[in-house]
Homo-oligomer: A and B are copies of this chain.
Amino acid sequence: MNKLFLSLLCMIPICALSQELVSPNSQLTMNFELENGVPTYQLSLEGKEIIKPSSLGFELKDIENLLDGFSVVDTESTTYDETWRPVWGEQSEIRNHYKELLVKLKQDATDRYMNIRFRLFDEGLGFRYEFPEQANLIYFVISEEKTEFALTGDHKAFWIPGDYDTQEYDYTTSKLSEISSLMNKAITPNASQTPFSKTGVQTALMLKTDDGIYINIHEAALVEYACMHLELDEDTFVFESHLTPDAVGNKGYMQAPRNTPWRTIMASKNAGDILLSTITLNLNEPLAYEDTSWIKPVKYIGVWWEMITGKSTWAYADVPSVKLEDTDFENLTPNGKHAANTGKVKRYIDFAAEHGFAQVLVEGWNVGWEDWIGKSKDYVFDFLTPYPDFDLEGLRDYAAQKGVRLMMHHETSGSIRNYERHMDAAYQFMVNHNYNAVKSGYVGNIIPRGEYHYGQWAVNHYLYAVKKAAEYKIMVNAHEAVRPTGLSRTYPNLVGNESARGTEFEAFGGNNPDHTTILPFTRLIGGPMDYTPGVFEQDMSVHNPTNNSWANTTIARQLALYVTMYSPLQMAADLPEVYEKHMDAFQFIKDVGLDWDKSIVLEAEPGDYITYARKEKGKNNWFVGRTNDEKPRTSNISFDFLDDGKEYLMTLYADAKDAHYRKNPKAYQIAKYKVNRKSKLNQFCAPGGGYAISIIEVDKDKLKGLKRL
């Protein structure tokens, strides 16, 4: 039958024939089909099945499910090709190019309608459910979303335990079949955690088939909906969506007309395609703000690491409890270890000004830290009142004189209602005191009790905080919030999240040496992470004799992370006095860009290594970074991304030959070369190591005397 006839046939509502969708470059094919009234989709890469026929639908509370009994009412096919410019990002231009298939379904027995919109990009598929305005389905409660991802085999997976409250786990690399046996070990302690299944994992989930196909499952545009996890059927290797419940076990409150978030499946033979995929951003709504001139990437330092290591405290006094409405903080006895004091902050401001850091984060500036964690305390912070030793006004002025801003900190302790009650006043307070960026935190269980960090209730809150911040021209970096899903396209003042195991865990027991070779394939798929690298001192007992933790990283790899862990916010996390011992290495942190015209992947294997090269926005500078796992390796890259006919000054910050993340982490070497697009590099990378490279276009005379690479 010819295609026209097929098209005609497929306009008949009882048609159960496949609807095919092909990616622009023809490599990916998606097939939609109703199987016995159940909507299914299937995905192939170059003719080879990636996702077997997988069903779609919903279990609803108290009413008929939306699982079967469907017929196709109509389909619409379109092609879209547009280029847009993000406010900040890894690329200055992003092409949004896909083929779309909109399938309109009717559940005949109930006279209800559900559409599924598929968008097939060159590197992956996105699809979402849409509930059009209709008579018989308006308000409904989701008991569970039943989206399948039927994998073709026992793939290698890079996973963390499914959990309604935290992502702060080390990644486990294993076969899918091994997940359940490794789950207990994977669930390490956290201030707020709710694992739900020995076969449940979080997204973005990174996979690699035995054939070398890279697959990534995530979601985009998580708005007014619960965060999706994946529940594995160990017999069939089929994942099914598992949404985060609310306090009473419901998984979503919906009012039609509306859409769900997009579910995304990337597939490529090339790991770099996964890293560079713009699917997540492209599936989000365009920019919502008219004026974005106040949104700028920020390089910062902070009064923070000494508390993380335990050298100092967030708290001002050592009392077991305080009450913001009653306690006279002026009359408490200071514990002598309160880091956020005027003198210390001035020191940090001086350091920031001297070395070109725009902002200084100060945690522990505000009253309430004495009993901030683990008490389920409702009125825990007011976000307004400084401790007696923090001269707010004076520091604002001192910083301004030095051309530096302080960065605000709003720890909420998970007490969401309390934060919202204070939010306008807290944001206005920021404006009044020259702050334009806030790191927010949600450490501990969510209040209202029974809700989870990743449920619809909290997801709604996080976006509320971002949108309200925009009214005050404030940028938000939300820690412990739900992992991002590309919302920064729409709301680019959401400049960062943590929502994964970050550098602070180097002080809480250490991260796996391969952790940062996995994070860009998982956590970073949805948006940047405030990973806060730059830890030069690995031995935490140097700061706090009772802290035996070790940062499993060489210094060279720490520099690399400023390139491999894309973020418009970059912190130099360590203490100024530590940097002052390594100002040569620190130079890279000062030089590295924050915003990019172009990013490319030179080498990538999840769990082993990643090498990125990025061109600084508006300049002819490039930065290269390589992060390496626990094995010694050699990196082989070429510089053919450089402009033809140009010579550049390259500075290479690399592991010394005998460097090792545990045994010899501070051994690095710095060398300068002249390079051009013909240059190549073979570079040793230590276990837990890597390298960082800055490439600056300079006049030829500046290259005199330098060796060619």
Which positions in A face B, CB cutoff 8 Å? 135, 138-139, 141, 246-248, 250, 253, 255-256, 320-321, 323, 371, 375-378, 417, 420-421, 424, 448-451, 457, 460, 464
Contacts and interface: CB of A to CB of B under 8 A. Distances in A.
Given A138-B321, A320-B138, A450-B247, A378 B417 contact: no
Given A247-B248, A424-B424, A377 B449 contact: no
A449 B250 contact: yes
27 contacts: A135-B320, A138-B371, A138-B375, A139-B376, A141-B376, A246-B450, A247-B247, A247-B248, A247-B449, A247-B450, A248-B449, A248-B450, A250-B449, A253-B376, A253-B449, A255-B321, A255-B323, A255-B377, A417-B417, A417-B420, A420-B420, A420-B421, A424-B424, A448-B448, A448-B450, A448-B451, A448-B457
Given A139-B376, A248-B449, 9 more contacts: A139-B321, A246-B448, A246-B450, A247-B449, A247-B451, A253-B376, A253-B378, A256-B321, A448-B450
Contacts of A323: 255
A451 B457 CA distance: 13
Contacts of A377: 139, 255
A238 to B, nearest CB: 31
A375 B376 CA distance: 30
Contacts of A321: 138-139, 255-256
Contacts of A449: 246-248, 250, 253
A378 B460 CA distance: 10
Nearest to A326: B257
A323 B464 CA distance: 17
A574 to B, nearest CB: 34
Contacts of A424: 424
Indicate how many identical chains form the complex.
Answer: 2
A375 B320 contact: no
A424 B423 CA distance: 12
Contacts of A248: 247, 449-450
A426 to B, nearest CB: 13
A141 B449 CA distance: 12
B135 A375 contact: no
A87 to B, nearest CB: 24
A181 to B, nearest CB: 31
Contacts of A138: 320-321, 371, 375
B420 A139 contact: no
A256 B371 CA distance: 12
A187 B135 CA distance: 33
Contacts of A247: 247-248, 448-451
A323 B224 CA distance: 14
A469 to B, nearest CB: 14
A378 B223 CA distance: 14
A453 to B, nearest CB: 14
B420 A375 contact: no
A450 B451 CA distance: 9
Contacts of A421: 420, 464
A541 to B, nearest CB: 31
A417 B250 CA distance: 18
A246 B449 CA distance: 8
Contacts of A371: 138-139
A250 B447 CA distance: 13
A371 B133 CA distance: 14
A371 B378 CA distance: 32
Contacts of A250: 449
Contacts of A417: 417, 420
A321 B250 CA distance: 22
Most B-side CB within 10 Å, residue of A141, A250, A321, A448: A448
Give the top 4 A-B pairs by smallest Cβ distance, nearest first. Answer: A247-B450, A247-B247, A139-B375, A248-B450
A138 B320 CA distance: 8
A460 B325 CA distance: 15
Nearest to A375: B139
A368 to B, nearest CB: 12
A419 to B, nearest CB: 11
A251 to B, nearest CB: 12
A598 B320 CA distance: 49
A442 to B, nearest CB: 16
Contacts of A420: 417, 420-421
Given A450-B247, A451-B448, A255 B320 contact: no
Contacts of A141: 376
A98 to B, nearest CB: 26
A41 B449 CA distance: 34
A539 B450 CA distance: 47
Nearest to A425: B424
Contacts of A135: 320
Contacts of A457: 448
A451 B421 CA distance: 18
Contacts of A253: 376, 378, 449
A254 B256 CA distance: 41
Contacts of A464: 421
A478 B139 CA distance: 27
Most B-side CB within 10 Å, residue of A247, A248, A449, A457: A449
Nearest to A460: B378
